[in-house]
Amino acid sequence: MIEINPRISTIVYQEDLNLPYLGVKSALGEITPEELGLLGARVRPTRRALRYFDQVEWDESSAADMQTPPRSRIPSSSLE
């Protein structure tokens, strides 16, 4: 093994559903497979993330006519 990277990918981030937390609860037996199945309906597979020097998130299902992702509200220089 060369490296272990504990950082969580942006793809699992969703403001109304904490997927890593649910994974831990599942591993500890604190949530049933049936409960996970019910929560699975809340996962939005249309979410996208764009990361370069800044990160922008959007959900394609909320703006079907949008051709490009929205611009970030925070300038990259303020993130340094």
Per-residue exposure over 26-54, b if at least 16 CB sit within 10 Å of its own CB, e if not: eeeeebeeeeeeeeeeeeeeebeeeeeee
pLDDT value of residue 73: 55
Q: Which residues pair with 17 in a beta bridge?
A: 14
pLDDT value of residue 38: 93
**Which stretches in the chain have pLDDT values below 70?**
6, 9-11, 49-51, 62-80
CA separation for the pair 51, 68 (Å, rounded): 14
Q: Which residues pair with 48 in a beta bridge?
A: 58
pLDDT value of residue 47: 77
pLDDT value of residue 80: 47
CA separation for the pair 66, 59 (Å, rounded): 10
